[in-house]
Structure 1
Amino acid sequence: MIYAGVDVAKADHVIGAVDERGSELCKPMGFKNGAAGFERCEAWLEGVAEEPGDVLVGMEATGHYWMALYAFLVSRGYAVAVIDPVQVRAVRRLRGLDRVKNDRIDAGLIAETLRIGQYDPTRLATDEVQSLRTLTRYQQSLKSELAEVKTQCTCLLDSYFPEFSGAFSDMFGAAGRAVLSKSPLPSQVARRRVDSLQRDISEAARGSRRVDGKAAELKALARASVGIRLGEGAAAMQVQSLVRQMDFLDGECGKVERRVRELLELVEPLVLTIPGVSYTTGAQIVAEIGDIGRFRNAPALVSYAGLSSSVNQSGKFDSGGGPITKHGSPYLRRALWLAANRARQYDPSLGAFYERKRAEGKCHRVAVTAVARKLCHIVFAVMRDGVPYDPARPGRDPSKHSVSGSQGAGSDRSGNEKS
């Protein structure tokens, strides 16, 4: 077998190859990230191996630049494995190349990592799963952007209208935004007529009785405000701009969320039967896992999520398990942790497991992480078996949430690989 490594970048890639003994077969070659470059890469591979089946190509999972080349090589019959950059760094240290880095050396290191690691070819997600992954990640970025905009607006209001935050239960809810969009500063609120201000607030709150008299209360706060007055015009313009951004981002989040729900119902709706898993976290979990068949068993999924405990053991010393590795998908890890924090409140056995960890002296964060590992096993079983979650299902220990035959698809109940 020949192992070829590709160091990918935005504009240019470099490919190198080693044989089964780790000897470099020929000089690494650079090529462009485009159709002509890909054809040149294929010609180079034909020069080092007679058939595509004689080569395993590897590339790092860095950014998105690998995907086009990956799709091209797979279409040409080559097996391609996407490698965790952490493992390439480990081989770099092993070879004493910590302070030596260039594209040609990196291509050789990726090939060597592939040779040592015995990787299986990677499979791209289906169209629906890839769409779900793209949209869930985009949804998360939209929410982060929305939170940043709200933080900026809060900082401004803390200086110019600090009393505003106490006027509404949610200062950036519909009623709060209705006020800020027209009169964001105390001097502007104080000049408005009570009936006009109240009408805006009531319409935004859809006639809720809870906002009755809110206009008079707000005007009183504005007249007594201790906010600064310097640069009011610029501050008012910025607050109004930020409110418009909030409205836009809310609208985009709503559109994305509706499409995400549709895709989740199409791809894997059964994850919603797991306590604590919402449409948002469920979609993120399914999108990042993709084909559950690529995981040998539930512990492999735990490892991919980066929720496995690190090990520090030497001789008679054993730390008893260190912090989680945080390898793998950070999106999956975050979604599982958020789902686990809710699951402990709604699933009695997971709640009991959480309380046991707390009684052992574990802090909230560590205890929820332990629940997230349990949740990984549940998700694996639901997606593998294609059945709704049922803690009372025969063969399942409700206290541990393990599933009989949890070695995964492709194994019999004794754990032996099927032929």
Structure 2
Amino acid sequence: MNFKQNEKINQVTDKTLVIGMDIAKQTHYACMVDERGLLLKKSFPVHQSRQGFEFFYKRILEGMKEFDKTDVLIGIEPTGHYWLNLAYFLDERGIPLVMCNPLHVKRSKELDDNLQTKNDAKDALVIARLVKDGRYSYPRLLKEIEAELRVGATLRDNLVEELARIKNKLIRWTDRYFPEFSQVFPSFGKMALAALECTPFPSDVAPQEPAELLELYRGVEGLKSPQKPKINKLIEQARISIGVTEGQTMARIEITTLVQRYHKINTELHDLQEKLTELIQATKEYDYLKTVPGLGDTTIIDLLSEIGSFAHYDHPRQLIKLAG
């Protein structure tokens, strides 16, 4: 740990211009200090726009020339996702960017003035001095396949969560209007969804004959052969149902909408999974990970979307530390 800290401190020499930045949604604030933490340039605003970034880049070059510096190191306190645009902009121009822990910034600011007030200009100076002392970490900017995997895995997680919410809503409606439904269909398979789409209420099922429902469900896309025993049981339960009978018109609309959304998200998940699988199969790590018993494509996608390539790590303990 001390060795790493010394490495970071040694990065800042008398030829290094240290810049601290407080990140915000629209307007960031940056200030410049030397290797001792002495203020060279007071905090100035940097707007979250192409024009603002170009202005900031110009100020960096001017500052290096004015104070006779050959290197630059920019430190930020990460705020949400707003720092990413600037980070990629600086990365394209070969300017190193590091991150300071927000808790360290808060504690260091209190050491200076012991006030609870927050000020963007003041925070920029605190961040710059933390960078000068080597109290920072290196962010890993995702690129190419790693970036695609991260975005895709996040999207898949969101779709899975949305699917779970739809299931819960469908359960709520069946518990209210057709509580016996779960005795026939304990999970939402193709036939259960077909029944909800065509006959969501006991009053839709009870008068029907098994052959009529069989024909009705066959017309649902994706369901080729409905199970007759299930249909018989559904009719039996519908005829003794204790479901609520009021408000069914609007409930029918919502149930139909939920079933359609369920199908749509399921299709999107399937397509997304195929694309993510293609991405991981193009990585070097895939062949190694597939040899581990119990690791399927979904787990490998989750793993690589979080840690990226193994080439980023020198020792297995780094992965353990990343996991917490």
Aligned-pair CA distance for 1:21 = 2.5
Residue matched to 1:275: 293
Q: Aligned letter for 1:289?
A: I
2:312 equivalent to 1:294: yes
- Over the matched positions of the two proteins, sequence identity in percent amounts to 31
2:118 equivalent to 1:72: no
- Equivalent of 1:255 in 261, 271, 288: 271
Residue matched to 1:227: 243
Aligned-pair CA distance for 1:93 = 5.5
Find the residue that maps to 2:31 and give its secondary structure.
Answer: strand
Q: Aligned letter for 2:146?
A: V
User: Which range moves more in the overlay, 219-228 or 286-295?
Assistant: 286-295
> CA offsets per residue over residues 241-276 of structure 1, 9 Å max, x none?
111111111111111111100001012312232233
Aligned-pair CA distance for 1:222 = 1.3
Q: Name structure 1 gaps, 5 residues minimum.
A: 308-419
2:152 equivalent to 1:109: no
Aligned-pair CA distance for 1:123 = 4.6
Find the residue that maps to 1:48 and give its secondary structure.
Answer: helix
In 2, the alpha carbon distance for the partners of 1:205 and 1:221 equals 22
Residue matched to 2:322: 304
In 2, the alpha carbon distance for the partners of 1:167 and 1:145 equals 25
In 1, the alpha carbon distance for the partners of 2:69 and 2:158 equals 39
Q: Aligned letter for 1:148?
A: R
Residue matched to 2:26: 11
Find the residue that maps to 2:38 and give its secondary structure.
Answer: coil
- Equivalent of 1:44 in 59, 64, 72: 59
Aligned-pair CA distance for 1:298 = 2.2
Alignment of 1:237-248 (within 5 A): 237-248=253-264
In 2, the alpha carbon distance for the partners of 1:249 and 1:183 equals 22
> CA offsets per residue over residues 26-83 of structure 1, 9 Å max, x none?
2111122111100111122224323885211123444332222112212223111244
Find the residue that maps to 1:273 and give its secondary structure.
Answer: coil
2:44 equivalent to 1:29: yes
Aligned-pair CA distance for 1:198 = 2.1
Find the residue that maps to 1:229 and give its secondary structure.
Answer: coil
2:184 equivalent to 1:167: yes
In 2, the alpha carbon distance for the partners of 1:98 and 1:164 equals 62
Q: CA RMSD in A?
A: 2.5
2:73 equivalent to 1:56: yes
Q: Name structure 2 gaps, 5 residues minimum.
A: 1-15
Residues 271 and 282 in structure 1, CA contact (< 8 A), matched pair in contact too: yes
Residues 194 and 216 in structure 1, CA contact (< 8 A), matched pair in contact too: yes
2:143 equivalent to 1:126: yes
In 2, the alpha carbon distance for the partners of 1:142 and 1:90 equals 39
In 1, the alpha carbon distance for the partners of 2:73 and 2:146 equals 25
Distance 1:293 1:57, change over 3 A: farther
User: Which range moves more in the overlay, 261-270 or 70-79?
Assistant: 70-79
Find the residue that maps to 2:28 and give its secondary structure.
Answer: strand
Residues 3 and 20 in structure 1, CA contact (< 8 A), matched pair in contact too: yes
2:255 equivalent to 1:266: no
User: Which range moves more in the overlay, 193-202 or 39-48?
Assistant: 193-202
2:35 equivalent to 1:20: yes
Distance 1:275 1:90, change over 3 A: farther
In 1, the alpha carbon distance for the partners of 2:104 and 2:291 equals 36
2:210 equivalent to 1:212: no
- Equivalent of 1:195 in 186, 193, 211: 211
Select the structure of larger CA radius of gyration: 2
In 2, the alpha carbon distance for the partners of 1:233 and 1:130 equals 46
Normalising by structure 1, report the TM-score: 0.66
Q: Aligned letter for 1:154?
A: I
Q: Aligned letter for 1:16?
A: C
In 2, the alpha carbon distance for the partners of 1:78 and 1:101 equals 28
Distance 1:277 1:237, change over 3 A: same
Normalising by structure 2, report the TM-score: 0.83
Which has the bigger relative contact order, CA under 8 A and spacing at least 6? 2
Residue matched to 2:169: 152
